[in-house]
Structure 1
Amino acid sequence: MTYDEVITCLYDLQDPDKVVFKEKKFGVVSHNSLGIYHKELKIIAKEIGRDNELALQLFESGIYEARLLCSKIYDPKELTSDLMEYWVVTFENWEICDSFCMGLFAKSSLALEKIHEWTSRRAEFEKRAGFATMAAYCMADKKSDNDLFEKFLPLLIREANDERLYVKKAVNWALRSIGKRNVDLNQRALDTAHKILTFDTKAANWIAKDAIRKLEAENVNILDYPRALYR
């Protein structure tokens, strides 16, 4: 598909009611949005395949859904630090932040570098990007030993008092993702949650209690990564 064909397709799918619904239901406040759901964008992305040049054009269009589509068709192996920095500062809500972090950044060789950089940022969605990439990296990297993921735990402790909604949710998400890799990291994540629980803030209290409840649940899905050791 050419750039013009993709843009025409997006405008054909536009639905202003969905823009309003996503804002009211999910807190997704977006500029220049057409109102298209991810499931529809995934169909378009599958038809396009990997196309870095088109992805960059779509991002520069400024259309919200075109930027979401960019995150689905850019090849993570071709990411550069400059490009990741160029994109991360534009994130305006959790949806576009997570789309780039889960589908693209966590699969990049630069993921670990950006996790450590972004989790110390001040801007809400840049910091969220650090923790969202961390959470997704726990699922994307199926071979690394526990030491790598244990190094994430001090970052979670350091930022557990951030009261901003989309930061504390991402910290919680990352903590739970670490705890789902294997039984040993499950215990390390629980130990970390109990440490966070001693902090005297609402954010830390919520992060810890929710993580403990979910990581101790009978139906918690432990993934046994790396499987060479745990299976």
Structure 2
Amino acid sequence: MIGPGASAAELIAHLQTLRSEEKITGMTRFGIVTGTALGISNPDLKKIARLAKKDHARARQLWLSEIREARMLALYTAEPKKLTRADACRWVKDLNSWEIVDCAADLFVEARLDDLIFQFAADEGEFVRRTAFAMIAGAAVHRKQDPDEALLAWLPLIESHSADPRNFVRKAVNWALRNIGKRSRYCHAPALALAERLAVHPDKIARWIGKDAVRELTNEKVMGKLK
């Protein structure tokens, strides 16, 4: 039985019993890297995480396994208050798929490691840079008590990386811009102004980001939800 006292080795052994070749195949259709995958869905991993409870030392051990599901479980059971900059900088170098990036970004946001956003954005690694913008996108939604100005401060970084042609970066840059714009009426105008500027940018990637963001930020339903 998986419980709070389960070790990393016991959790990994349990995960191995749940291996599904069919689900591994299905994951590839969503662009998930499956080289070390066991084929366990994230909802099922979250159930295991709730049983195992938080344990930061164990999360570090789970990460070392290199198994996709063990690393996802590490992110779900790590303790944000104990997560260090060294942890984040070490883990981010191992990220190799959009889904684990986005999960890690949520943890880093909860741990309030915002100072790493500039560092990650400056990194040339596709998934490291995606982490920076996934963090901004997540903070815009989850950090409701933060002042709007803190989110608007990321707009210049979004603009500076708007021409990155790599698929997982450009989508995250777009995501960050849209989420800031949808955060509040105060954030909407500056975000929309940037989106409109990008929509006529000479670079085609920046234009795509801008046009897509303008489309969403001028949507009546979106505007109707702004507070």
| TM-score, normalization by structure 2 | 0.93
- Residue 2 of structure 1 deviates from its aligned partner by 2.5
Alignment counterpart, residue 106 of structure 1, candidates 106, 109, 119? 109
Structure 1 pair 36/221, CA: closer, same or farther in 2 (3 Å)? farther
Structure 2 CA distance for aligned equivalents of residues 43 and 222 of structure 1: 35
Identity %: 35
Task: Say if 2:41 is the partner of 1:62.
Answer: no
The residue matched to 1:160 in structure 2 has which SS? coil
Paired amino acid for 2:12: I
Residue equivalent to 1:76: 80
Q: CA deviation at 1:42?
A: 0.5
Are 1:30 and 1:92, in contact at CA under 8 Å, matched by a contact in 2? no
State the shift of 1:89 in Å.
0.6
Deviant stretches of 4+, over 2 Å: 1-5, 221-224
> What is the CA distance between 1:223 and its match in structure 2?
6.9
For 1:125 and 1:214, the matched residues in 2 are separated by 25
Instruction: Tell me the residue number matched to 2:145.
Output: 143
TM-superposed deviation, 1:221: 7.2
One-letter amino acid of the structure 2 residue matched with residue 26 of structure 1: F
The structure-2 alpha-carbon separation of the partners of 1:223 and 1:65, relative to structure 1 and needing over 3 Å to count, comes to farther
The CA deviation at 1:8 is: 2.2
| One-letter amino acid matched to 2:118 | H
Does the 8 Å contact 1:182/1:222 carry over to 2? no
Name the aligned partner's letter for residue 44 of structure 1. Answer: I
Task: Give the SS at the match of 1:119.
Answer: helix
Task: List alignment gaps of at least 5 residues for structure 2.
Answer: 1-5
Structure 1: any 5+ residue segments left out of the alignment? 225-229
TM-score (norm 1): 0.91
Corresponding residue for 1:206?
208
Instruction: Provide the rounded CA distance (Å) in 2 between the counterparts of 1:164 and 1:134.
Output: 18
In the alignment, does 2:22 pair up with 1:13? no
Over 3 Å counting, the alpha-carbon distance change for 1:55 and 1:190 in structure 2 is same
1:108-165: per-residue Cα shift (whole Å, max 9, x none)? Answer: 122x201121112111000000000111111222122222111100011100001100
> Residue 219 of structure 1 aligns to a residue in which SS?
helix
Relative distance call for 1:22 and 1:122 in structure 2 (3 A) is same
Q: Which amino acid aligns with 1:203?
A: I
- Aligned equivalents of 1:223 and 1:6: distance in 2? 42
- Note the C-alpha offset of 1:202: 2.4
Q: Do the aligned residues in 2 keep the contact of 1:181 with 1:222 (CA within 8 Å)?
A: no
Q: Structure 1: how far apart are the matches of 2:147 and 2:112?
A: 16
Q: Is 2:136–2:151's contact at 8 Å kept on the other side of the alignment?
A: no
Task: Name the structure 1 match of 2:3.
Answer: none
Conserved 8 A contact 1:139-1:177: yes
- Cα-to-partner distance string for 1:174-212 (whole Å, 9 max, x where unaligned): 001101110121111110101111212221122111111
Q: Distance in 2 between matches of 1:125 and 1:8?
A: 28
Alpha-carbon distance between aligned partners in 2 of 1:223 and 1:116, rounded to the nearest angstrom? 30
Residues 28-65 of structure 1 show CA distances to partners (whole Å, capped at 9, x for unaligned) of 12321111110110100111111112111111111111
**Counterpart-to-counterpart distance in 2, 1:223 and 1:90:** 38
- Matched residues in 1 for 2:120 and 2:225: separation? 26
